[in-house]
A and B are shown apart, each in its own frame.
Chain A
Amino acid sequence: MEAMFRIAGLEKAFGPIRVLSDVDLELRAGEVTVLMGANGAGKSTLVKVISGVHARDRGTMHLSGEPFDPASPAEAIRAGVVTVHQNINDGVVAALDVATNLTMDRLTGKDAPLLFNPRRVRREAQAVADRLGLQVNLSASISELSLADRQMVAIARAMAHEPKVMILDEPTSSLSSAEANRLFAVVERLREHGVAILYISHRMSDIRRIADRIVALRDGVIAGVFADKPLDYEGAVDAMLGRAMDLSTVSVKDATRKVFEAKDLRIASQARPFSLAVGDGEVVAITGLVGVGKTALAETLFGVRRPLGGTMTLEGREYRPRSPADAIEEGVFLVAKDRAESGIVADFNLYKNMSLPFLRRLARLGVSQPRAERAIARRQIEDLGIVCRGERDRMQTLSGGNQQKVMVARWTAQPSSLLILDEPFQGVDIAARRDIAAKLRAGAAGRATLLLLTELDEALETADRILVMSEHTIVGEHRNAGLDMDRLLAQVAGEDIRGAA
Chain B
Amino acid sequence: MADTVIRYGFLALLAALIVFFAFAAPGFASPQSAVFIFQSVAITGILALGVTATLVVGGFDLSIGSVATSAMMAAAYAMVVLEQNALVAVLFCLAIGALVGLVNGIIIVYMRVPDLLATLGMMFLLVGLQRIPTEGRSIATGMTMPDGSTATGTFSPTFLALGRHRLDFFIDNLLPVSVVVLLVLAVLIWFFLEFTRFGRMMYAVGSNEKAAELAGAPVKAYKIWAYVISGVFASIGGILLAARLGRGDIASGNNLLLDSVAAALIGFAVLGAAKPNAFGTAIGALFVGVLLQGLTMMNAPYYTQDFVKGAVLVVALVFTFALSNRAR
- A residues sitting closer than 8 Å to B (CB atoms) are 302, 304, 323-325, 327-329, 334, 336, 341-348, 352, 356-357, 359-360, 362-363, 366-368, 394, 396
Contact = CB atoms under 8 A, between A and B. Distances in A.
B328 A359 contact: no
Contacts of A396: 328
B220 to A, nearest CB: 10
B218 A346 contact: no
12 contacts: A304-B214, A324-B215, A336-B214, A341-B211, A345-B203, A346-B207, A348-B203, A348-B204, A356-B215, A357-B216, A367-B196, A394-B328
Contacts of B204: 345, 348, 356
Determine the main DSSP class of B at the interface with A.
Answer: helix
A363 B267 CA distance: 27
Given A347-B275, A367-B195, A341 B210 contact: yes
Complex A-B, nearest 8 residue pairs according to Cβ-Cβ distance, in ascending order = A359-B197, A347-B207, A325-B216, A357-B215, A363-B197, A328-B216, A356-B215, A342-B210
A324 B214 contact: yes
Interface string B203-231: 11011101111111110000000000000
A341 B208 CA distance: 7
Contact of A345 (B196, B207, B328): B207
Given A352-B200, A359-B201, A368-B195, A342 B214 contact: yes
Interface in B166-217: 195-198, 200-201, 203-204, 206-208, 210-217
B217 to A, nearest CB: 7
A352 B203 CA distance: 11
A317 B189 CA distance: 42
Contacts of A356: 200-201, 204, 211-212, 215
Interface of B: 195-198, 200-201, 203-204, 206-208, 210-218, 275, 328
B208 A346 contact: yes
Nearest to B191: A367
B43 to A, nearest CB: 29
B196 A363 contact: yes
Contacts of B218: 323, 325
A144 to B, nearest CB: 20
A403 to B, nearest CB: 12
Given A325-B217, A356-B204, A345 B197 contact: no
Contacts, number: 72
Contacts of B197: 359-360, 362-363, 366-368
Contacts of B207: 345-348
Nearest to B192: A366
A370 to B, nearest CB: 9
Contact of A368 (B200, B211, B215, B275): B200
Given A324-B214, A336-B211, A366-B198, 15 more contacts: A323-B216, A325-B216, A328-B215, A334-B214, A342-B208, A342-B210, A342-B211, A343-B211, A343-B214, A345-B208, A346-B208, A359-B197, A359-B201, A366-B197, A396-B328
A345 B208 CA distance: 5
Contacts of A304: 214
A19 B200 CA distance: 40
A445 to B, nearest CB: 25
A368 B196 contact: yes
Contacts of A342: 208, 210-211, 214
A114 to B, nearest CB: 35
B313 to A, nearest CB: 22
Nearest to A336: B214
B197 to A, nearest CB: 4
B206, B212, B215 interface centre (most CB from chain A within 10 Å): B215
Contacts of B198: 366
A498 B217 CA distance: 42
Contacts of A368: 195-197, 200
A328 B213 CA distance: 11
A344 B215 CA distance: 10
A357 B215 CA distance: 4
Contacts of B203: 345, 347-348
